[in-house]
Amino acid sequence: MNQLRRLGQTDLYLSPLGLGTWQYSTKDTNKNSMWGSTETETVYEIIKYSLQHGMNWIDTAEIYGNGTSEAFIGEVTQRLKHERMLATQPLIASKWFPLARSASSIKNTIDERLTYLQVPTIDLYQIHQPTSRSPLRKQIEAMVSIAEKNKIKQIGVSNFSAKQMIKAHQLLKEYGMTLASNQVKYNLLHRNPEKNGTLDAAKELGITIIAYSPLQQGLLTGRFHEHPEALAKISRFRKLQSSLTSRTLKKTEPLYKELKRIALNYDKSISQIALNWLINAQGDTVLAIPGASKLQQAQENVGTLNFELSRKDIARLNDISQNLK
């Protein structure tokens, strides 16, 4: 159920689900090729509902609209604070974008992150992906130096292989810290972290795995199986990223049917079953960050926190998703 889980070996405790916010990369009327634009009031309602119903953290990144997503979060959380809508302040995770940049930009851009987010410190700051102009040691040094200034609390990485993750962890140990998390793509249709050693290494070292695209960008909600014509409205990049094609719908039909059967048994939705598998199949190691562009999606996703799949159903989903032809 929704008991807070320790983030890596840190003193932070997170709900099994956090809110993903890549969706809020474009404000109001501007168009965004990946997700379309988001209304400020919708973001407000989604964040309010999610935080009032069991989530205690939000994940964002510098690269999501060049600070737009972070600014949305800053604006909404301040508004909720003034309206006294929240029992506690949410924890914030953000990410530095390393591509074609050197480690010095970590120190040069952190104040902008804090300004957008309207917080004095970021709870979890992640290196968004492993490619940078500077070696990992330099990046870790820069992350540690902003941690020493209390601008960030804990350090994580994203899209790191098992080997890269272990190296980041070892480097941090030299500074008396540990690697809190590795954010990777993980869901019932993308189980690579189980095969490429990332999950095993994370369990061994006490590093949390944060699963992104936990619903395979909508495929694991059943909505495209039920309305294949809706695929036509999805951006090309998203289709490519999540293999949103009619061929995939056909291939994944057995999983869709099983998710639907289990959902009926629990009186839950398909997306709730898919998310529940993700946060319960691997003990406490995996947290997930579903994105939502509509309030109803956020309501549904947060409802995942109120139940737990049986070991038998988890095993059944393991089996079917592994054997899709």
Ligand X SMILES: NC(=O)c1ccc[n+]([C@@H]2O[C@H](COP(=O)([O-])OP(=O)(O)OC[C@H]3O[C@@H](n4cnc5c(N)ncnc54)[C@H](OP(=O)(O)O)[C@@H]3O)[C@@H](O)[C@H]2O)c1
Catalytic residues: 64
Q: Which is nearer to ligand X, 82 or 233 (CB)?
A: 233
Whole-angstrom Cα Rg for the chain: 19
196 binds ligand X (CB under 6 A): no
| Residue 301 touching ligand X (CB under 6 A) | yes
- Print the binding letters for residues 154-193 with ligand X: x by CB under 6 A, - otherwise: ----xx-----------------------x----------
Q: Of all helices (H) and strands (E), which one includes residue 126?
A: strand 122-127
Tell me how far, at minimum, the Cβ of 174 lies from ligand X, in Å. 25
What is d(CA 264, CA 272) in angstroms, rounded to the nearest whole number?
Answer: 11
Report the nearest approach of ligand X to the CB of residue 239 (Å): 12
Closest separation in Å from C-beta 27 to ligand X: 15
221 lies in the binding site for ligand X (CB under 6 A): yes
Q: d(Cα 95, Cα 198) in Å, to the nearest integer?
A: 20
In angstroms, the CA 109 to CA 258 distance is 46
Q: Please report how the helices 270-280 and 295-302 are oriented relative to each other, as an axis angle in degrees rounded to 10.
A: 50
In the set 21, 77, 181, 285, which binds ligand X (CB under 6 A)?
Answer: 21
223 binds ligand X (CB under 6 A): yes
- As a whole number of angstroms, the distance between CA 44 and CA 73 comes to 9
CA 304 – CA 276 distance, rounded (Å): 6
Q: Does 214 bind ligand X (CB under 6 A)?
A: yes
Using CB under 6 A as the binding rule, whether residue 300 contacts ligand X is answered as: yes
CA atoms within 13 A on the CB side of 46: 26
Comparing CB distances to ligand X, the nearer of 174 and 246 is 246
Q: Which two tokens stand for residue 201?
A: 């290494």
What's at 22, amino acid-wise? W
Binding pattern to ligand X, positions 257-276, x when CB under 6 A? --------------x-----
Which residues lie near ligand X (CB under 6 A)? 20-23, 35, 59, 158-159, 183, 212-218, 221, 223, 271, 289-293, 297, 300-301
